[in-house]
A and B are shown apart, each in its own frame.
Chain A
């Protein structure tokens, strides 16, 4: 028995070494493609509150009619056009982790367009109201749903001021391996926690052809997002609610 487990752990170690070599190579290669964070968290280390992940969307850079971020999210997380599922749900029922909103001001005729998703609120109403504790906030500020505990009561959907959550109405198949989803559970943007934990950026940020989104640690004064937040004027959507959202918007025309 012991020889077996020794040789097995040796095998595992070898496999990991190989994996590390491959990932290292990929990181070098992807150097120009997308930005890897200077210090990706080692896999075995838990997330901490020393970091708070945030997203800054520059609305003035966001392309009219462009929804590349939404498509990228669908492909990454396997919902909407990124999956073959949800055939039986109607248009109001299908999952919507992220959407492009066209905002039109009838007073002066001005328009702008912005992507809207879970704002990863610091005082998240969805977490407050959840009767089972399934809605929770990670130490690094990412708000998630533990589907193992969610009973599908949809109370959080009522509480969310941004209409950021969806409920899955029918059996699903062919999910992405890193993103389980299923009937009877509520879901929303995860800020691509699975990518962020590996030192990558959320899929939407990487996909934006206009460079309208900046992702990073708002607790780190040297991060690009902190520098931008200090430089440009930005706001929270529905700031009056005092939720201290993790997602901020710059360039929204003041009316």
Chain B
């Protein structure tokens, strides 16, 4: 006779694995979301200097290009300037107070930690807006 209970017992490991797999897909989805700090200016804007997908993939190239434009040619426009990135994305828990953008859990660091990329920008660049 066909024993359903028996079948179910044997199927448990498979069901468990399936659940784990689905869970990991969702977890992965979540990790892919760059969390904007709610207190940042960026959270109030619809998109970045380029569409979000583009920025995720290519921000480093845009930054490199802009840095050379600025340094060698004195082109000081706002788009893709690291200073503007910081100004827009930094957490502002209280007016005129900032959390360094490379601090744990902050905009730059959270994503770079996720992908295991060390950020070297802030050994020279200021990590908060400079208001004075």
- Chains A and B bind each other: yes
- Decide: B51 and A47 in contact? CB cutoff 8 A: no
Chain B residue at smallest Cβ distance from A175: B126
Q: Smallest distance from the beta carbon of B75 to chain A beta carbons, Å?
A: 6
* B6 contacts the other chain (CB 8 A): no
Q: Smallest distance from the beta carbon of A75 to chain B beta carbons, Å?
A: 9
Chain A residue at smallest Cβ distance from B124: A182
Chain A contact-residue range equals: 35 or more
Mark A59-85 against chain B: 1 for CB-CB distance below 8 A, else 0: 000000000000000000000000000
- Decide: B47 and A44 in contact? CB cutoff 8 A: no
Q: How far is it, in angstroms, between the C-alpha of A22 and the C-alpha of B57 when the chains are bound? A: 34
| Count of A-B contacts judged by CB separation below 8 Å | 73
Mark A1-23 against chain B: 1 for CB-CB distance below 8 A, else 0: 10011011001100010000000
Question: Which residues of A (18-45) have their CB < 8 Å from a CB of B?
Answer: 41, 43-45
Which residues of B are at the interface with A, using a C-beta cutoff of 8 A? 45-51, 67, 69, 71-79, 83, 86, 123-126, 129-130
30 contacts between A and B (CB under 8 A): A4-B47, A7-B46, A8-B45, A8-B47, A8-B48, A16-B78, A41-B74, A43-B76, A43-B77, A45-B75, A46-B73, A46-B74, A47-B74, A138-B72, A138-B73, A138-B74, A144-B71, A146-B72, A147-B124, A171-B123, A174-B126, A176-B130, A177-B83, A177-B86, A177-B129, A178-B130, A180-B124, A180-B126, A181-B124, A198-B76
Point out the residues of chain B lying under 8 angstroms from A210, CB to CB. none
Chain A residue at smallest Cβ distance from B49: A12
Q: How far is it, in angstroms, between the C-alpha of A46 and the C-alpha of B66 when the chains are bound? A: 12
Q: How far is it, in angstroms, between the C-alpha of A66 and the C-alpha of B114 when the chains are bound? A: 53
Q: How far is it, in angstroms, between the C-alpha of A179 and the C-alpha of B125 when the chains are bound? A: 8
